[in-house]
């Protein structure tokens, strides 16, 4: 139920925080939302993209 399969809506609870320059939380709110993944990626795939300086390579 919680997996992020591509092109499927998933219900989520989000915490949106405002953090100051010192790293302190100065405000926050919790809200319901919907998330939809465009693609399924592994941490290894994403790290390889970051290391190569790519934002959205065709190989993913």
In a domain, 57, yes or no: no
Among 8-17, 18-27, 30-39, 45-54, which is the least confidently predicted range?
Answer: 45-54
Asked if 32 and 10 touch (Cβ cutoff 8 Å), the reply is no
DSSP 58: T
Query: Domain limits at 36?
Result: 9-52
Q: What is the pLDDT of residue 58?
A: 61
pLDDT score at 1 = 45
pTM across the whole model: 0.50
d(CA 27, CA 38): 30
Q: What percentage of the chain carries pLDDT values higher than 90? A: 40
Q: Tell whether 40 is covered by a domain.
A: yes
41 part of a folded domain: yes
List the alpha helices (DSSP H) in 1-60.
43-52
Does residue 3 form part of some domain?
Answer: no
15 lies in a domain? yes
Residue 60 lies in a domain: no
For residues 10 and 35, the answer to whether their CB atoms sit within 8 Å is yes
Segment 12-30, tens digit of pLDDT: 999 999 999 999 999 999 9
Indicate the average pLDDT of the chain.
84
């Amino acid at each position: 139920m919680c997996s992020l399969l591509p092109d499927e809506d998933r219900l989520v609870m989000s915490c949106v925080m405002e953090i100051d320059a010192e790293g302190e939380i100065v405000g926050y709110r919790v809200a319901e939302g919907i998330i939809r993944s465009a693609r399924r990626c592994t941490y290894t795939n994403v790290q390889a993209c970051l290391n190569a300086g790519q934002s959205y390579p065709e190989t993913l």
